[in-house]
Amino acid sequence: MSVNLQTPIDYLKGVGPNRAELLRKELGIHTYQDLINLFPNRYIDRTKYYKINQIEQNSSEIQIIGVITNLQEVSQKRGKRLVATFKDDTETMELVWFRGIKWIKESIKLNTPYVIFGRTNWFNGIYNMPHPEMELQQEHDKSLRTAMQAVYPSTENLSNKGITNRVVSKIMQQLFLETKAKFEETLPTELLNSQGLISKSEALLNIHFPKNQNLLSRAEFRLKFEELFYIQLQLILKNIIHKNRIKGHPFTQVGNYFNDFFQHHLPFELTNAQKRVIKEIRKDLGSNAQMNRLLQGDVGSGKTIVAFMSMLMALDNGFQACLMAPTEILSVQHYNGLSDWCKKLNIRISLLTGSTKTSDRKIIHEQLENGQLQILVGTHALLEDKVQFNNLGFAIVDEQHRFGVAQRAKLWKKGPSRSVQEDRDNKPSTPPHILIMTATPIPRTLAMSVYGDLDLSVIDELPAGRKPIKTVHRFDNNRLKVFKFLKDEIAIGRQVYVVYPLIQESAKMDYKDLMDGYESISREFPMPQYQISIVHGQMKPADKDYEMQRFIKGETQIMVATTVIEVGVNVPNASVMVIESAERFGLSQLHQLRGRVGRGAEQSYCILMTSHKLSNDSKTRLETMCRTNDGFEIAEVDLKLRGPGDMMGTQQSGVLQLKIADIIKDQDLLKHARFCAHQILKDDPALKKSEHYPILKTYRALSKYKNIWNYIS
């Protein structure tokens, strides 16, 4: 009879109720299954013996054979320490104890070979090993060990309660004994062969008890592949199921609005990337499925016109469209930009934000419901229950990462109101097509994991003729030179941003920094020769808007602001972006801010101001900014600096909690695993073929246990 891996851990010999409770609480291990998926953090290679003269600083735990020639107690500020002189045939080092001195002194045998094991430190001109694990060589040679010893994740509480690494190893061994080390294969034979993967049983055995480095590597490879493969398989299947189940409005007509705009009103020649993406969207909208597409494009790559032309496809088919942006300023900008185009096409468009007057709001609500209004632009005010569309067919969300998934879901329900018949049948209403736009490029592998269930479009080309922004890093004591440069730029008619950090926790201090900065700039750039705008989060929306408008119209030359201008603001005549305390900004934020300039024909500049005190990470960020303008390259560096969880926010961290693979180090494997999953599903989307049965079974178990690693049964 085979052991059921869903058996509670309490039943494993050597565990018992107390240990089971601890394992559950500390490591989330409830079943045999969970234990087997407790993968080691690292391994200690106990096949290798070091000589003392081979020790290097920062070496990991090592073992050495030698003899103790001398023992000495040394008094120190608090208590004593015991120091042993330890020698081999190359050098001398010290072993040090701070606790249990009496017992150690009594039990140590001088001038007898010991095998010592531990981490070494360099101190006072000599290597020492504090609290070594030690064993007489004679006994060491007799005991049985696997060459590579697994080190498992642990907690303080576990080790305090006596569940040491050795104990975990032992119960793991017990598990392998009880199961006879036979585990059900979870990948099809064909895939194992084509990818050169070892079997599941072999992989599990060697991840816990590696026979040698080579088998360990193959075990890791197999398990990483499997983990990534199943994550991707689930995401792709979600997409397929979505497409099959969720009907969308088929936009079959390519009609007057689109053609009229394309033929007569295009303000510029579209880039090839823009054309390609419009085609991708058009293809989706023409199908029967509801579109869920993520549009990625660097700042300034021209996502807005793509969004607009997509909305025209909805309008051409008699539907309404909306565009939601994360801030008031951005919504206003979008509205202003789109209004110009709408006027030419006779399209009715409105703006709805938190500061829309009640009377205007009423009109908007009415016109939305009776269908007069064709396009609505706004902030998350669009999500309010009172906002009801007549027949919303297409919704665009700009800067997705600022909205939660829940908010995205709300948009779904704003589809056309249901017909009486549909109501009677209790059919859900058809959701609008959804296009999500993000201006912060996401590294490809991350996008695959977090948005792997969405279709992805990328604008990977900037409009022709853009001059790359020149970015420099300057220290605060060079401020006068920087001011001089700003004056020169203003003298030839350009405008300048000066941005201060705003971080929630220290909002007050930041506000003071901003005001101090504003004052010193006012002194340096006196009226009436210079006019300065200021925008920050504590201002009323109307005042913000007023100041913004002055800058947009060119009435002011300098815009002093906090990061409220981070996203989307478009003033093509602005050519210099000065970022104060640049070391306090994250990479994507710096890149976003820089994207506010370089929007016109002129050469633009970004000046990163910092103090002399810089952490290594800050230095990397600044260097990266000075080196490249490529948002995708910057995103890759950001991912390495911050890690995936931080980068994407906690919302999505579930997808990113990998047990064995590493989204950064295993990028190539991730792409490959996705490719393999894709191939299989292309050939057999319902996983009906008998050779795919292991996948189907695993997939079902996965959906049941919700955890990628809980699926062998």
Asked if 299 interacts with ligand ADP (CB under 6 A), we say: yes
Query: Angle 60-65-67 (CA atoms, 0-180°, nearest 5)?
Result: 125
Among 300, 393, 443, 501, binds ligand ADP (CB under 6 A): 300
Q: Is 452 near Mg ion (CB under 5 A)?
A: no
From the list ligand ADP, Mg ion, none, pick the one residue 271 interacts with, judged by a Cβ distance below 5 to 8 Å according to partner type: ligand ADP
Residue 397, interface with ligand ADP (CB under 6 A)? Answer: no
Rule CB under 6 A: say whether 305 interacts with ligand ADP.
Answer: yes
What is the rounded distance in angstroms from the CA atom of residue 227 to the CA atom of residue 40? 16
Decide: is 232 part of the binding site for ligand ADP (CB under 6 A).
Answer: no
Take residue 711 and report the two structure tokens written for it.
């699926």
Least Cβ distance, residue 241 to ligand ADP (angstroms): 31
The answer to whether the CB of 566 falls within 8 A of the CB of 520 is: no
- For residues 695 and 233, the answer to whether their CB atoms sit within 8 Å is yes
Q: Are 398 and 331 in contact (CB under 8 A)?
A: no
694 part of the interface to Mg ion, by CB under 5 A: no
Examine residue 599 and tell whether it contacts ligand ADP (CB under 6 A).
Answer: yes
Residues within window 604-663 making contact with ligand ADP, judged by CB under 6 A? none
Alpha-carbon distance of 564 to 571, in angstroms, equals 15
End-to-end CA distance of the chain: 13
Phi, psi of 608 (to 5 degrees): -95, 110
For residue 122 the two structure tokens come to 């360099």
Hunting for tokens 């600096």 — which residue is that?
641
Q: Could you tell which of Mg ion, ligand ADP, none binds residue 31, using a CB distance below 5 to 8 A set by kind?
A: none
* 453 in Cβ contact with 539 (< 8 Å): no
Residue 439 binds ligand ADP (CB under 6 A):
yes
Nearest-CB residue for ligand ADP: 302
Is 534 a binding residue for ligand ADP by CB under 6 A? The answer is no
Least separation in angstroms between residue 572's CB and ligand ADP is 6
Between 226 and 460, CB nearer to ligand ADP: 460
441 binds ligand ADP (CB under 6 A): no
Does residue 339 belong to the site contacting ligand ADP (CB under 6 A)?
no
Q: Is 64 helix (H, G, I), strand (E, B) or coil?
A: strand
Residue number with CB closer to ligand ADP (393 or 631): 631
What is the per-residue burial (b if ≥16 Cβ within 10 Å, else e) of 589-604?
A: bbbbbbbbbbbbebeb
Of 12 and 436, the one with the shorter C-beta distance to Mg ion is 436
Interface residue with ligand ADP among 33, 206, 301, 533 (CB under 6 A) is 301
Find out whether 293 and 434 touch, Cβ atoms under 8 Å: yes
State the Cα–Cα distance between residues 26 and 24, nearest whole angstrom.
6
* DSSP reduced 3-state for 707: coil
Task: Give which of Mg ion, ligand ADP, none residue 440 binds (C-beta under 5 to 8 Å, depending on kind).
Answer: none
Measured from the CB atom, is 278 or 669 closer to ligand ADP? 278
**DSSP code at position 475:** E
What is the nearest approach in angstroms of ligand ADP to the Cβ of residue 307?
8
Decide if residue 416 touches Mg ion (CB under 5 A).
no
Contacting ligand ADP (CB under 6 A), which of 302, 393, 443, 501?
Answer: 302
Pick the stretch among 263-271, 566-574, 596-604, 641-649 that binds Mg ion (CB under 5 A).
566-574
Q: Is 598 in the site for ligand ADP (CB under 6 A)?
A: no
Q: Which does 598 bind (CB under 5 to 8 A by kind): ligand ADP, Mg ion, none?
A: none
Residues in the chain: 713
Least distance in Å: CB of 334 to Mg ion? 8
Q: Does 568 bind Mg ion (CB under 5 A)?
A: yes
Does residue number 463 form part of the binding site for ligand ADP (CB under 6 A)? yes
Residue 379 interacts with, from Mg ion, ligand ADP, none (CB under 5-8 Å by kind): none
At residue 598, the 3 state secondary structure works out as coil
Q: Least Å distance between CB 337 and ligand ADP?
A: 7
Q: Is residue 596 part of the contact set for ligand ADP (CB under 6 A)?
A: no
Size of residue set near ligand ADP by CB under 6 A: 18
The residue range among 1-9, 268-276, 345-353, 664-672 that interacts with ligand ADP, by the rule CB under 6 A, is 268-276
* Using rule CB under 6 A, residue 149 touches ligand ADP: no
Tell me if 592 contacts ligand ADP by CB under 6 A.
Answer: no
**Which segment (49-57, 380-388, 561-569, 668-676) binds Mg ion by CB under 5 A?**
561-569
118/572 with CB nearer ligand ADP:
572
Q: How far is CA 70 from CA 88, 93, 98, 463, in A?
A: 13, 11, 17, 76
With b meaning 16 or more CB within 10 Å and e meaning fewer, what string describes 522-556? eeebeeeebebbbbbeeeeeeebbebbeebbeeeb
Q: Choose from Mg ion, ligand ADP, none: what does 591 bind? Cβ within 5-8 Å by kind.
A: none
Minimal distance in Å, beta carbon 638 to Mg ion? Answer: 19
- When asked if residue 570 is in the footprint of ligand ADP (CB under 6 A), the reply is yes
| Integer Cα distance of 61 and 363 in angstroms | 73
The correct pick among 122, 123, 268, 675 for binding ligand ADP (CB under 6 A) is: 268
**How many residues bind to Mg ion according to rule CB under 5 A?**
1
The answer to whether 416 contacts ligand ADP (rule: CB under 6 A) is no
334 binds, among ligand ADP, Mg ion, none (CB under 5 to 8 A by kind): none
CA 125 to chain centre: 44
Site stretch for ligand ADP (CB under 6 A), options 295-303, 412-420, 486-494, 678-686? 295-303
Residue 411 as a binder of ligand ADP (CB under 6 A): the answer is no
Q: Mind spelling out the 3-state secondary structure of 76-108?
A: CCCCEEEEEEEECCCCEEEEEECCCHHHHHHHC
Task: Write phi, then psi, for 398 (nearest 5 degrees).
Answer: -90, 145
Q: At what angle do helices 587-594 and 616-627 cross, to 10 degrees?
A: 30
Measured CA to CA, the distance from residue 649 to residue 364 in angstroms comes to: 34
Nearest approach, Cβ of 395 to ligand ADP (angstroms)? Answer: 17
**195-203 own/partner pairs: CB under 8 Å, 24+ apart:** 195/225, 195/676, 197/221, 197/222, 197/225, 198/222, 200/226, 200/712
Residue 520's CB is within 10 A of a number of other CB atoms, namely 12
Nearest Cα neighbor of 249 from 415, 67, 463 is: 415
Q: How far is residue 193 from each of residues 35, 240, 274, measured CA to CA in Å?
A: 28, 27, 41
Q: Is 443 in the site for Mg ion (CB under 5 A)?
A: no
401 makes contact with ligand ADP (CB under 6 A)? no
Pick the stretch among 31-39, 201-209, 297-305, 678-686 that binds ligand ADP (CB under 6 A): 297-305
Where on the chain is the footprint of ligand ADP (CB under 6 A)?
268-271, 274, 297, 299-305, 439, 463, 570, 572, 599
Write out the residues near Mg ion by the rule CB under 5 A. Answer: 568
